[in-house]
Amino acid sequence: MRAGPAIAGLAALFVSAATPLAAQDVTKPRGSGRGCIHTEGPPGSSVARSAQRPVALAWFAGRSTAYDHGVLGDSVEATALYVGIVPPGQGKAAFCDSVSAGPDRVFEDISPRLADLDGDGRNEVIVVASHVRYGARLEIYGYPAPGRDFTLLAHTPYIGQAHRWLAPVGAADLDGDGTIEIAYIDRPHLAKTLRIWRYDEGALVPVAEQAGFTNHKIGWDFIPGGIRECGSRAEMIVASGDWSRVMGVGLTQGRVIARDLGPYTGPDSMSAAQSCR
């Protein structure tokens, strides 16, 4: 069972499927779509929400047990990704789009993540997808341009082996240069390597990497830590590779800079480190 608010009650997020076309047209950056279908997702998976319009909601749907990894505590993974298009000034979606994970693949994640990665005013969606033979990779979905279909925009390489996973840290301007970086821990139970990428002109470009960090234990239905923004620079909150210390990790001129924030005493110690105190 995954942590976070369940997807039950999604209907309250949407206007009627019979919404007049004129109401849908105000959003413009949508594609053909498949409607706001309320398909049940993995147990406990949560809806991502953003105050930025129009791509303001994202969630997983469908259930599959075809990928027998269970790294998140159960064997049920998502088969589809949905986004809700919310017109400016409104709180409910007027339109939805979706994509399928595709053959031999699932979305092996706790929740999608919404962030405007290219500064065009529309959120992209960050997810972890896994292939039954090649393991996990990070994927970016979104709209290439107004009126174009919601689609896969970019991805990292697959790790290369089944039952090998990555745990996202988050997305933010980590080095203060005005562009957004995306960070994750590659194989948090094995390689324990922090990898940082940047979405640039339709591709994910590697920025930096460093071993010796983790943010997930096998069976956890959550990923502790994340990114905090205290002052002028964003900082990643992760654990040392041996789970003894909470680490604050920054990015400066392409270099990973880590500092010790205190002892790791459980996931709560990582959550506490995210506050600006």
pLDDT score recorded for residue 231: 78
Please, where are the H alpha helices in the chain? 21-25, 267-273
Task: Name the residue with higher pLDDT: 260 or 28.
Answer: 260
- pLDDT tens digit string along 168-223? 999 999 999 999 999 999 999 999 999 999 999 889 999 999 999 999 999 999 99
* Residue 178 vs residues 122, 181, 233: alpha-carbon distances, Å: 16, 10, 11
Percent residues over pLDDT 70 in the chain: 86
Q: How confident is the model at residue 10 (pLDDT cuts 50, 70, 90)?
A: very low
pLDDT score recorded for residue 39: 67
Name the most confidently modeled range: 6-10, 30-34, 112-116: 112-116
Q: Report pTM.
A: 0.89
pLDDT score recorded for residue 20: 31
**Does the pLDDT of residue 6 top 80, yes or no?**
no
Write phi, then psi, for 181 (nearest 5 degrees): -105, 155
The answer to whether 141 touches 151, Cβ cutoff 8 Å, is: yes
What value does the mean pLDDT take over residues 242-260?
97
Omega within 30 of 0 (cis) for the link into 54:
yes
* Residue 183 vs residues 15, 87, 261, 263, 276: alpha-carbon distances, Å: 35, 30, 19, 23, 20
Which amino acid is located at 188 in the chain? P
- pLDDT tens digit string along 137-164? 999 999 988 778 899 999 999 999 999 9
**Does the pLDDT of residue 40 top 80, yes or no?**
no
Query: In angstroms, rounded to a whole number, what is the distance separating the alpha carbons of residues 150 and 7?
Result: 21
Chain-wide mean pLDDT for the chain?
Answer: 87
Q: How confident is the model at residue 86 (pLDDT cuts 50, 70, 90)?
A: confident
* Residue 156 vs residues 129, 204, 206, 207, 215: alpha-carbon distances, Å: 10, 6, 9, 12, 19
Residue with tokens 């994927």: 139
